[in-house]
A and B are shown apart, each in its own frame.
Chain A
Amino acid sequence: MKDLNYKQPRINPLAAERGKLIHTFGALAELGQEVSNRQGFHETIRTSLHLILGSLAIMRGGVARFSRFSHELNMVAGRGLGDNFPLSLALCYEDERQFLAAGLYPIENSQAKALPFFQVYDRSLEISRVELVLPLIMRGELLGAVFLGEKASGDRYTSHDKDVLCAMGRHIGVAIAQRNMLAELERKAEENHDLYENLKTTYKDTVRAFAAAIDRKDKYTEGHSVRVGKYAEAIASELGWNAEEIEGAAVAGYLHDVGKITVERKIINAPYRINAKESSELNKHPGVGFEILQPIHHPYADVPLAAKYHHERIDGRGYPDGLYDTDIPYIAKLVNVADSFDAMTTDRPYKRRRPANEVIDDMKRNAGKQFAPELVTAFFRGMLRELNGESPERRFRKLLGREYMETEGLSAMLQTTLNEMAPTSPLTYVSFD
Chain B
Amino acid sequence: MSDPGYSGFFKEQGDTAIVHAGDYLNKLSGERIERECRERLKGGCREIVVDFSQTEIVNSIGVSILLGVIDSAAGTGARVVFSDLNQNTVELFEMLGITKHVEVR
What residues make up the interface of A, taking CB atoms closer than 8 Å to B?
1-2, 4-9, 11, 15-16, 19-20, 23, 26-27, 30, 43, 46-47, 49-60, 79-80, 151-155
Contact = CB atoms under 8 A, between A and B. Distances in A.
Nearest to A43: B28
Contacts of B92: 19-20, 23
A200 to B, nearest CB: 45
B55 interface: no
- Chain B interface, DSSP helix/strand/loop, else mixed: helix
Interface in B55-105: 59-65, 67-68, 70-71, 79, 87-88, 90-92, 94-104
Contact of A20 (B70, B96, B103): B96
Contact of A151 (B28, B65, B97): B97
| Of listed B90, B92, B95, B103, residue having the most chain A CB within 10 A | B95
Contacts of A57: 63, 67, 96-98
B64 A16 contact: no
Contact of A54 (B59, B79, B95): B59
A51 B60 contact: yes
Interface residues of B, number: 29
Contacts of A155: 97
A153 B61 CA distance: 17
A60 B63 CA distance: 12
Contacts of A152: 67, 70, 96-98, 100-101
Contacts of A54: 59-65, 67
Nearest to A149: B71
B9 to A, nearest CB: 18
12 contacts: A6-B103, A16-B94, A54-B59, A54-B67, A57-B96, A59-B70, A59-B71, A80-B67, A152-B98, A152-B100, A153-B96, A155-B97
A19 B61 CA distance: 16
Nearest to A17: B95
B19 to A, nearest CB: 17
Contacts of A16: 91, 94-95
Given A6-B99, A20-B95, 15 more contacts: A2-B103, A6-B103, A6-B104, A8-B94, A9-B87, A19-B91, A23-B59, A30-B59, A49-B64, A50-B65, A57-B98, A80-B68, A152-B70, A153-B96, A154-B100
Question: Which of B67, B68, B87 has the most chain A CB atoms closer than 10 A to its own CB?
Answer: B67
B103 A4 contact: yes
